[in-house]
Structure 1
Amino acid sequence: MTVTPGRALDGLRLAVTTLTVLPLRAGRVDRPTAAVAMGLAPLVGAVLGLTLAGLHGGLRTLGAPALVAAGVAVAAGALLTRGLHLDGLADTVDALGSYRSGPGALEIMKKPDIGPFGVVALAATVLIQAAALAAVPWWSLVIAWTTGRLAITVACRRGVPPARPEGLGAMVASTVSIPALLPAAVAVAAAAIPAVPGRPWQGPVAVLLALAAVLVLLRHCVRRLGGITGDVLGACVELATTVTLVTLTLR
């Protein structure tokens, strides 16, 4: 598919409005535009990561303890994304934890409340991310948030079906081609090389492990739910971000 400048701009707008709270004027919203938007998701993640790294670094400069600065950064990340990814994580874990499949599991995901599985998943994810941020350099934060959004690109690759005929999952599922995915993954892995000073291999390994975890989750969701939904995309974001951060803390 040839991407015209106009469609590229529409795709960028869709990526920003879908993945952040920024209220940009909407352009075209269709599957070709969604393909561009999902391909640009890692770029949006990088901008979010840089923003949060600046906030974290500013608080540290002002004398905030490392864990306090990290906790504020994680909270700010949730605010900047409307908490959608954390909500998606909770709904996905609730559905998978119910041991139901197909429509039954999807019905659980649509409920407005959060069950015990979801509560535990949210608490553990936020705690782990904050603790990890307190122990890694600022570039690691950028890489983690970028990898989290690369997970969306991976989840929307060709061959992964939507779980429902409507909704965000139906619009973006199977829109990203492998030729578009591979350069994005290589670019993020290369950018991760300086994430851990003195260990140039650890950043790329963190990215690869995060994507491997996402592939396992996706396979499980396709088997249990029939495909992906917007909630599954959110779960992929938080899983990839957390795995990346934990891997980058290892010494």
Structure 2
Amino acid sequence: MSIKSFLMAISTYSVLPVPQFQWTKENWQYAICWFPCVGILSGGLTAAWIFAAGYFGISRVLFACIAVTIPIVVTGGIHMDGFMDTVDAISSHQPREKKLEILKDPHSGAFASIYACVFFIVSLGLFAQLGPVRSAYMICPGYVFSRSLSALCAVTIKNARGSGMLNSFTEGIQRNKALTIIISILVISGAGMIVTGGPAAALPVGLGLLSAMWYRHFTIKTFGGCTGDTAGFFLQVCELTMLAGITIAGGII
């Protein structure tokens, strides 16, 4: 793997300014393996905000508002865009081919807007309930964990269209090598959640794994495979599910 693949992953999945390179197979190959590293940016900023909110006694509402926006701002909303496109496709109740066409439509439908609001309201409520406490730090390595699961799904699930950016990132990749890297990052980030949260981490980690299993069945049944949009949909669902687990576990343990 080259540094160019790493920088292309950062450039594609975040707003961090990095040197740009020509889009060639040599440059983008294995970029998907570096995708989880984007979670370090979201996790690092979130950790800093949790500390600042606790140190300065910031209200839970303001804490939650900023916490919800950090990963969206860091990524430029690319995954939320996929979430909204996928919701539109699902809500259409059309045949598979039509659903895939809807995924490519740049316009947002009513259901996309409605469920985006639902997502943010639930996220806001969960962060407000959790507050800037020690257990909240579990979400920081969780952003790496969720992206590792997303990359794992992208490599192991066939592409529904056989084209697009995600297909370019996974086509022709040496699968065993990619899986070794992605699973290693998955294990490390999962361990980071356990170190941070102790026994409480078992719930969000388990929910993250279950959401990946559900997504695999869902995307194959609904779309015939994965796409960049469904991958974004999964990431948002996975992180919301893990946040719910952290909030529940943090209040019990």
Report the TM-score when normalising by structure 1.
Answer: 0.85
SS state at 1:157 partner: helix
Q: Does residue 71 of the first structure (1) align with residue 65 of the second (2)?
A: yes
1:37 corresponds to: 31
| Paired residues for 1:79-228 under 5 Å | 79-134=73-128, 135=130, 137=134, 138-158=136-156, 160-173=157-170, 175=173, 177-196=178-197, 200-228=198-226
What amino acid maps onto 2:158 in structure 1? P
Closer/same/farther in 2, CA of residues 64 and 23 from structure 1, 3 Å limit: same
C-alpha displacement at 1:93, in angstroms?
1.5
Does the Cα contact within 8 Å between 1:210 and 1:239 map onto a contact in 2? no
Q: Which runs of 5+ in 1 are unaligned?
A: none
- Measure, in 1, the Cα distance between the counterparts of 2:112 and 2:78: 13
Identity %: 22
- Measure, in 2, the Cα distance between the counterparts of 1:191 and 1:155: 21
1:244 corresponds to: 242
SS state at 2:30 partner: helix
Q: Does residue 18 of the first structure (1) align with residue 15 of the second (2)?
A: no
- Measure, in 2, the Cα distance between the counterparts of 1:30 and 1:211: 33
C-alpha distance after superposition, 1:163-193 (max 9, x if no partner): 2232112212464543333222211211111
- Decide which moves more: 30-39 or 223-232: 30-39
What amino acid maps onto 2:33 in structure 1? G
- Measure, in 1, the Cα distance between the counterparts of 2:31 and 2:202: 24
C-alpha distance after superposition, 1:189-209 (max 9, x if no partner): 11111333xxx2331441232
What amino acid maps onto 1:185 in structure 2? L
- Decide which moves more: 20-29 or 82-91: 20-29
What amino acid maps onto 2:86 in structure 1? T
Report the TM-score when normalising by structure 2.
Answer: 0.84
- RMSD over aligned CA atoms reads 2.3
Does the Cα contact within 8 Å between 1:16 and 1:44 map onto a contact in 2? yes
- Count of residue pairs brought into register by the alignment: 241
Q: Which runs of 5+ in 2 are unaligned?
A: none
Closer/same/farther in 2, CA of residues 27 and 132 from structure 1, 3 Å limit: same
- Measure, in 2, the Cα distance between the counterparts of 1:211 and 1:31: 31
Closer/same/farther in 2, CA of residues 241 and 190 from structure 1, 3 Å limit: same
Does the Cα contact within 8 Å between 1:94 and 1:108 map onto a contact in 2? yes
What amino acid maps onto 1:203 in structure 2? A
Does the Cα contact within 8 Å between 1:144 and 1:242 map onto a contact in 2? no
